[in-house]
Amino acid sequence: MQVAYQGEPGAYSERAVRSLFPDAEPMPCETVRLVFSRVTSGGADHGVVPLENSQAGSVNETYDQLQHTSLLHIVGEVLVRIDHALLGVPGARLEEVHRAHSHWQALAQCEEFLSSMRIEPVPVHDTAGAARLIAQRGDREDAAIASVEAGAALGLTVLSERIQTEKENFTKFAAISTGAPDLGPADKTSLVMAVRDRPGSLLASLQPFAERDINLHKLESRPRRGKPFEYVFYVDLMAAADAPEVEDALAAVAEHTSLLRVLGSYRSAGEPV
C-alpha cells in the first residue's frame, strides 16, 4: 500500500503517514495538489495532507483542494507535535546564520525567534526539503527550519531547538481516500457549505445543529472560487454523518444553503504523535 504525502523523507507529514498507516510505503510529493492528484488517479492508495496548525491556522491549499475534489473524502486524522529546530552545516555557529529556509508555515511559527536573531526567512516547499537544500549548499550563512530527525538524517548540526513561538505546537493532518480504510469508527464529520444570499441564512443553517445538541468544533469562511466576494464555510461537527440527529440536521440545513457537501466522516485524532 502506498500513501502519498506532501514533503520529503523526514518531514512531519511522513510521521503522520506512519502513524495513520504503519504498514504503508510513504510516497513523497512536492505539493498538496500533487498528493490529491496521485490519489485521484490511483497512483497512491491514500494520501495524507496538512489541515491546520495550532499556531498558524488552516492550510488553505488543502481546503481549496477538498472543496473542488469530489472524488476524495477525509477518512481519518492525526495530530502531530511540531518541534522546530534551526539546522546548519557542520561547524556552523548560530551567530553566523543570515537566512533560514523552510515551509512558509514553519517560518510563521518561528517568526519571533527569526526576528530576534535578525535572520531572514526564505520560504521553500517543505521543511525536510529545506534541510536537504542546506546540506547540499554547505553555506554556513544558511540554515533550515525542520525537525531534529530530518537534520540528523542529513548530517546537519542543531543550532537551536524548539524555536517555535508557541512551544505547544501541533499540526492536524487528514487522511484522504477514494475508498474507506479501517481507521476506526467515525465520531467527527467535516462539511463545506454556502448559505443563501438572504438575511438570517447563516444563523438558520447553524441552528439545526444547536437544536439537536450537535457540537461544532470549527466554522471558518473561505472565498468561493469563481464567485468573487462570495464565501463558503467549512464546518467540523463532533458526530458521525450517519447518526440520525446529523442526518436530520443536514436535511434542515439544506433548505438554507446553495452548496452543502460532506467532506468526510471519520475518527477524530487522539493524543499527539
- Answer yes or no: do 75 and 9 share one domain: yes
- Answer yes or no: do 54 and 9 share one domain: yes
- Answer yes or no: do 93 and 47 share one domain: no
Whether the Cβ atoms of residue 78 and residue 16 lie closer than 8 Å to each other? yes
Residue 196: inside a domain: yes
- Answer yes or no: do 27 and 44 share one domain: yes
Give the predicted TM-score (pTM) of the model: 0.89
Residue 110: inside a domain: yes
Whether the Cβ atoms of residue 253 and residue 203 lie closer than 8 Å to each other? no
- Answer yes or no: do 17 and 77 share one domain: yes
Whether the Cβ atoms of residue 164 and residue 110 lie closer than 8 Å to each other? yes
- Answer yes or no: do 150 and 192 share one domain: no
Q: What is the pLDDT of residue 37?
A: 97
Residue 271: inside a domain: no
- Answer yes or no: do 57 and 41 share one domain: yes
- Answer yes or no: do 92 and 58 share one domain: no
- Answer yes or no: do 72 and 119 share one domain: no
Return the CA Rg of the chain: 20
CATH number of the domain where residue 260 is located: 3.30.70.260
For the chain, what is the domain count?
3
Domain range for 193: 188-266
- Answer yes or no: do 35 and 101 share one domain: no
DSSP output for 2-60: EEEEES-TTSHHHHHHHHH-TTSEEEEESSHHHHHHHHHHTSSSEEEEEEEETTTEE-H
At 235, list the grid cell.
464546518
Residue 233: inside a domain: yes
Q: What is the pLDDT of residue 8?
A: 87
- Answer yes or no: do 71 and 94 share one domain: no
Residue 183: inside a domain: no
Residue 122: inside a domain: yes
Catalytic residues: 171, 173
In order along its 273 residues, the chain shows pLDDT tens digits of: 999 999 888 889 999 999 999 999 999 998 999 999 999 999 999 999 999 988 878 888 999 899 888 889 999 999 999 999 999 999 999 999 999 999 988 999 999 999 999 999 999 988 999 999 999 999 999 999 999 999 999 999 999 999 999 999 999 999 999 998 989 999 999 999 999 888 999 999 999 999 999 999 999 998 887 778 788 999 999 999 999 999 999 999 999 999 999 999 999 998 998
Residue 91: inside a domain: yes
Residue 166: inside a domain: no
CATH number of the domain where residue 105 is located: 3.40.190.10
Count CB atoms within 10 A of the CB of residue 243: 17
- Answer yes or no: do 75 and 93 share one domain: no
